[in-house]
Amino acid sequence: MAFGKKEEAIFLGREIAQHADYSEQTALDIDNEIKRVVTEAYSYSKKVLADNTAKLHALAGELLEHESLDGAQIKEIMAGGSV
């Protein structure tokens, strides 16, 4: 993903200069917002995994035993049952 338009001077196939059409403050705001979004997503993901550790272990155990599972079997395991 990119913001703004870059003007590049090319010399022998290499970039030798870049110019962004937005301020350093805008670049800092973008960086901060991206960091916030990624940090929130990471925290949410950790919480989901932590809240469902028992289900994940049950699923892993069933996969070790059966090697492959279909959707119905996975739903059964996630509901607390077994295959």
| Assigned domain for 51 exists | yes
| Assigned domain for 14 exists | no
Q: Look up the domain containing 46 and give its range.
A: 24-78
At 3-42, the pLDDT tens digits run 666 555 555 655 555 566 788 899 999 999 999 999 999 9
Average pLDDT, the chain: 85
| Assigned domain for 7 exists | no
The number of folded domains in the chain is 1
Tell whether the model's pLDDT for residue 2 goes beyond 70. no
| Assigned domain for 74 exists | yes
Pairing state of beta strands 6-11 and 14-20?
A: antiparallel
| Assigned domain for 13 exists | no
Report how far residue 3's alpha carbon sits from residue 23's, in angstroms, rounded to the nearest whole number. 11
